[in-house]
Copies of this chain bind each other. A is one copy, B any other.
Amino acid sequence: MFPRQMTILGVGLLGGSLGLAARSAFPQCKIIGYGHRRQTLEKAIEIGAIDAPETDPAASVEGSDLVILCTPVGIFESLLKQIGPSLSAGALVTDVGSTKRSVANLAESILPKNVDFIASHPIAGSEKRGVEFSRADLFANQLCILTPTAKTNPKVLDKMEGFWRSLAMRIVRINPEDHDRLLADVSHLPHLLAAALVAMQEDAGLDLCGKGFLDTTRIAGGDGGLWRDIFLDNADNLKAGLRRLQAQFLAVEKMLDAKNADALRDWLDAAAKRREKVLDKKLREINPD
């Protein structure tokens, strides 16, 4: 049986939801939760997300055959160094971080040779923070991106996929470089935009905003520390995305200056149509019936 014992490092919304989902899929599996706040760990036990609390990362991974990093990516390096010596031979280590180049490099240089690492990125989450918002169905029918490298053992990759499939996730394999570039565009840049859009407003304007503004800026409600780590880790791609976004702005400004009504309507209609296609596809994926 795999996993027989799993450790969740970081029991926030994602870690807590992972515990709930894993408990449902693997009722026999023992789930250990590491966190630095006693209160969070107690809440995680109370909602059934973990069986045993642990405030020492090294101790938390002892005997586990699956170890999942659910903290902000900024502390992955420190965590990997702490858990490395305590990992069981043959343990599978993964993460749920939003950037994949750095963690793959860190794991390959820090972890002992007798354990395996496969980077994972389940596309699931919420702007809400904290284990109390955990949901057992957070991952169901969502996408999980795995980013194997040249050093990845294909059998271990299959094992990792099997775990995520057990949580009803759909799997995509991409290399870490493409992952970080594409996710910068569809996830990290939208977050930057949403926050910038809030930051540039006058108070008087915010009083007049409608549902559109609130939807557009919803993701800006996320945890600042978490997104700070993602932005810093993926800064090159984020900046490249900003360049391409600004090229779109420039094109629109030219249409405005030239009062080119047809070009402007075509540009707007093309965006509306493209988004609708994406939405239709996503809705079919999420509700397959």
Do B282 and A253 touch (CB < 8 A)? no
Do B241 and A272 touch (CB < 8 A)? no
Known: A196-B249, A249-B196. A191 touches B212 (CB 8 A): yes
Do B266 and A224 touch (CB < 8 A)? yes
Do B200 and A245 touch (CB < 8 A)? yes
Do B224 and A265 touch (CB < 8 A)? yes
Which residues from chain B contact A190 at a C-beta distance below 8 Å? 197, 212-213, 216-217
Determine if A276 is an interface residue (Cβ-Cβ < 8 Å): yes
Name which residue of chain B comes closest to A209, CB basis: B186
Which residues from chain B contact A223 at a C-beta distance below 8 Å? 272
Chain B nearest CB from A10 CB (Å) reads: 17
The number of chain A residues touching the other chain, given as a range, is 35 or more
Determine if A279 is an interface residue (Cβ-Cβ < 8 Å): yes
Do A216 and B201 touch (CB < 8 A)? no
Residue in B205, B221, B252, B282 whose CB lies within 8 Å of A186: B205
Do B195 and A271 touch (CB < 8 A)? yes
Do A142 and B210 touch (CB < 8 A)? yes
Do B224 and A218 touch (CB < 8 A)? no
Which residues from chain B contact A205 at a C-beta distance below 8 Å? 182-183, 185-186
| Interface residues of A, Cβ cutoff 8 Å to B | 74, 123-125, 142-143, 145, 172, 174, 178, 182-183, 185-187, 189-202, 204-210, 212-225, 227-228, 231-232, 235, 238-239, 241-242, 244-249, 252-253, 256-257, 259, 261, 264-272, 274-276, 278-279, 281-282
